[in-house]
Amino acid sequence: CQYPENLYALYGSTEMLIISQVTAATKLGYQGEGDLLGKPVAGVTVSVTENQELLIDGPQRYKQYLGEEKASYFASGDTGKIDTAGNIIMLGRQKDMIIKKGYNIYPGLFESTISTIPGVQECALVGFYNDLIEDEQITLFVVTDPAINLTPALLQKELAHGPYSID
């Protein structure tokens, strides 16, 4: 499949807007470890701490959080590395957590239980901000074993009762 040369994947945040970019074709063709985020955009600098957290600075960086000291960089919470070509490679998050109605939800605590349900090959709990409810909407993504007929209804039953139940 061919992608237009001008189709880009962007990496950014509220605190820094656009941090890096990479063409869709390059990103989708990447075979290395982690997630290829591309090269920093003009004026942006990225460094990596001892524990692999990405520290970001640039002209569009936020100045400070309300009630806190002025920041000299943005500590992204993302872990990663910079490859020899200058690309940012995301390796993960320092702290995987979803905040819903003021409660901290740690997907890893639930995913380890869900992944033991017969028929579940992979799973991920992901939070998406939903404007209608003005909060996170948590969605469970599951890859099932085609040899086991694990329907959504059966999965829901397993999650509600018995040894695989979660809150």
The pLDDT value given to residue 165: 87
- Could you give the 3-state DSSP secondary structure of residue 95? coil
Tens-place pLDDT, residues 62-107: 998 888 899 899 999 899 999 999 999 999 888 788 888 888 888 8
Tokens of 79: 């872990």
Burial of residue 13, with CB atoms counted within 10 A of its CB: 0-12 exposed, 13-18 middle, 19 or more buried: middle
Average pLDDT, the chain: 90
**What mean pLDDT is predicted for residues 104-130?**
90
- Report whether pLDDT(21) > 90: yes
- Could you give the 3-state DSSP secondary structure of residue 146? coil
Listing DSSP states for 21-85 in one string gives: EEEHHHHHH--SSSEEEEEEPTT-EEEE-TT-EEEEE-TTS----TTSPPPSSEEEEEEEEE-TT
The contacts of residue 13 (CB under 8 Å, 6+ apart) are: 19, 74, 76
**Percentage of the chain with pLDDT > 70?**
99
The pLDDT value given to residue 118: 94
- Alpha-carbon distance values, 101 to 10, 63, 108 (Å): 29, 27, 19
Looking at this protein, which amino acid is placed at residue 151?
T
8 Å CB contact between 57 and 79: no
8 Å CB contact between 71 and 63: yes
